[in-house]
Amino acid sequence: MSLATAASPNNTQVQGSSSMKQAGIVVIEARASTPLGPKIVFASEEASRLSGYQLSSLIGSPLGLIYDHSDLARLIEKLPLIATSPEYCWMERSLICKGGDRLPARWTIRPTQSREGHSGHFTLTIAPLKAGEKPLPEEKPLNHLEEEPLESSGILDEEVEESRSESLALAAGGVAHDFKNALQSIKTNIELAQRASRSLRSLDEYLADAAIALDDAETLAHQMLAFTKGEQSSACIFDVIASVKRVSHLCTAGSGVRCRLKIDPGARPVEGDPNQIYQVLHNLVINACQAMPNGGTLDLAVANIEFSNPANRFQVKPGRYTVISVRDRGCGIPREMLPRIFDRSFTTKDNGNGFGLASCRAIVQKHGGAIRAASKPGVGTEFLVFLPSAPDGSIVEQVTRKVNPAPAKPAEEPVENLRVLVVEDQQGVSKATCRMLEFLGHSSEVAETGEDAIRVYLHSLNTEDPIDLVLLDMTLPGGLDGHGVLNELRKIDPRVIVVATSGYFEDGPAEALAESGFNGILAKPYAMDSLAITLSQAASS
């Protein structure tokens, strides 16, 4: 059954009362590929109407955009059990609408079976609850899947869990928002480089800007993974002037926006996570540029300020601050909307989700600072970021933005003429990897699933040109993940050489993977030098 057929309201039966006939329908991935849950791959017009989001905003977004955050982690945990349940499951949870409003609703969920028999997707229906409506006897609540009832220590535990989920949603959404901006800059600069290559003019400049943006994307991805693992941010005393100069160059390159800098050379350093503060500045500058689609002037300023009176006009608590101003000459924000711009899920953009400014406020407040905004339609908008200044005499640390340094080069010459099986479900990634392998003197073949990888490897053993090495992505669609594929390959050929790769890898997984039998690891995104060295080391092991 095709995805469109499985998701069509005409082909989806919604059990229950007549009030559910106008239920919205969404189809999600079988596994959670983001910290905010599985991505939405289909949404009906009714789901769009109920949530207030356009279809283009729903499709591709994680389920956590619209599903009650207090129950999201629990739902994700139960998906494998729901996949094997012959019955519908239901839960009464709020639908999070655009703007942050909550709509009480009954959600039903069932697996959508693929041709191979496993759960390819899940279909969810969303029906607004009527006052006093009772659970339906022919449906099963989500908690019927639990082997034992969960114990609760009271309302405090519920509040802590909801706060943690809200925090996760806020941080994850903000990072994802900025990640898209970094990717857009990469896309723009590469396109400019391609056009400039015809005459070779400005080629180095465009590629250099693309490399800077790629570095930003790596850093943002690192932040996302560190947050989801509960890691503490990396705090230091740093110079915000360097961050302001960097963001002014990156965010206005290739646009019609002209940036003017007004920086007090005596601006004090601040203490905190430089990557998170850069995320705030990146977000504010991107918003300013978007407010001036036909070009204009963006003013960035850095200065010192002190407040001794709690009743100051910015309503910032007394103290010494380093303040950063981001001012545009764009369309402005209507007066009635200004008090809500930092609210989660509030947005004035058709395809926005509202996480950006809410994330900015959360980060600034975490650093003990404050963020304020002033705007006038037709005149422009100014954001002020107040960050507590570091004590006088503090030693400023040099901030490095390298996330995944290349491994040390081996003493021996690189291995050539390997036949590499690239196991990767993302066609863009597999295509680029094969091109790098060709450049390095290797040949390649691609498998998109674990099952295909096993079939291709087994077939190659009976040929004159067998597979020398498997480059294996750890998160694959279907029934087998990276560990499952490795186990099956070991049964076929105990001497198989397998290098694991994933976007979820960070520092330190090498020991655990080596114990599982992998010959090497590559954390995405990896450079050509890292690929060449890792393959050589694995092939020589």
Q: Over 60: is that where the pLDDT of 389 sits?
A: yes
308 φ/ψ sector (left φ>0, alpha ψ -120 to 50, else beta): alpha
Provide the 3-class DSSP secondary structure of residue 295. coil
Give the start-to-end residue ranges of the domains of the chain. Answer: 3-145, 163-388, 419-540
Enumerate residues 6+ apart whose C-beta is below 8 A from 178: 216, 220, 279, 282, 283, 286, 356
User: 419-540, which class in CATH?
Assistant: alpha beta
Q: Which residue has the higher pLDDT, 167 or 153?
A: 167
The percent of residues above 70 in pLDDT, for the chain, comes to 65
**DSSP-derived secondary structure letter, 228:** H
Q: By C-alpha distance, which of 344, 363, 362 is closest to 354?
A: 344
Instruction: Give residue 291's pLDDT.
Output: 86
Enumerate residues 6+ apart whose C-beta is below 8 A from 212: 246, 249, 250
Compute how many other C-beta atoms are within 10 angstroms of the C-beta atom of residue 84: 10
- The owner of tokens 């009743």 is 311
Q: By C-alpha distance, which of 301, 324, 302, 305 is closest to 313?
A: 305
Q: Please report how many Cα atoms fall inside a 13 Å half-sphere around the Cα of residue 479, on the Cβ side.
A: 10
Instruction: Give residue 352's pLDDT.
Output: 44
Instruction: Give residue 149's pLDDT.
Output: 29
Q: Which residue has the higher pLDDT, 15 or 428?
A: 428
The DSSP line for 374-443 is: EEETTTEEEEEEEEEBPPTTPPPPPP---SSPPPPPPSSPPP-S-EEEEE-S-HHHHHHHHHHHHHTT-E
Single pTM value for the model: 0.46
Instruction: Give residue 161's pLDDT.
Output: 40
Q: Cβ(471)–Cβ(494) under 8 Å?
A: no
Mean pLDDT of 131-137: 52
Q: By C-alpha distance, which of 421, 419, 469, 442 is closest to 528?
A: 442
Instruction: Give residue 194's pLDDT.
Output: 62
Return d(Cα 326, Cα 301) in angstroms, integer.
7
Mean pLDDT of 462-473: 92
Residue range 284-307, pLDDT digits in tens:
988 888 888 888 889 999 999 999
Mean pLDDT of 66-72: 84
Q: Cβ(310)–Cβ(317) under 8 Å?
A: yes
Architecture of domain 163-388: 2-Layer Sandwich (3.30)
Return d(Cα 371, Cα 72) in angstroms, integer.
30
Instruction: Give residue 183's pLDDT.
Output: 54
Residue 77: which H helix or E strand, with range? helix 69-84
At position 209, the amino acid (one-letter code) is: D
CATH 2.60.40.10 applies to domain 3-145: no
Q: Which residue has the higher pLDDT, 413 or 138?
A: 413
Return d(Cα 305, Cα 322) in angstroms, integer.
6
- Mean pLDDT value across the chain: 74
Instruction: Dig out the tokens for 326 from the structure.
Output: 């981001």
Rg (CA), the chain: 26
Residue range 161-196, pLDDT digits in tens:
444 444 444 445 445 445 555 555 565 556 556 666
Enumerate residues 6+ apart whose C-beta is below 8 A from 110: 82, 88, 89, 122, 123
Q: Cβ(241)–Cβ(300) under 8 Å?
A: no
Q: Cβ(458)–Cβ(492) under 8 Å?
A: yes
Spell out the SS3 assignment of 3-34.
Answer: HHHHHCHHHCCCCCCHHHCCCEEEEEECCCCC
The percent of residues above 90 in pLDDT, for the chain, comes to 21
